[in-house]
Amino acid sequence: MQARQMAHPENILDKLIKITIEKLGVKEDEVKANSSFVEDFGADSLDTVQMVAAIEEAFGIEIEDEKVESMVTVEKAVEVIEELLKEKA
């Protein structure tokens, strides 16, 4: 049986940036670690639901509501995704 490879943080960030660009219509150079999905990109509740669904699908994880609430910046979202991937491994 082959060991599962963990996603590297850069790969997580790259995927998250792609999802952010696709779902929120922002430019790649606008996406920074400390960017706020709501304040900087204008995400509303529907955008948040779509982002979470895309993240769950891209990484094969399920994100509980309490964790979604903590994902206010790109950096925090990466941290939550990393944590959930570690728990899944």
44 included as an active-site residue: yes
Q: What are phi and psi of 36, to 5 degrees?
A: -90, 130
Rama region for 81: left / alpha / beta (φ>0; ψ in -120 to 50; rest): alpha
Catalytic residue, candidates 29, 40, 44, 47 = 44
Decide: helix, strand or coil at residue 24: helix
List the catalytic residues: 44
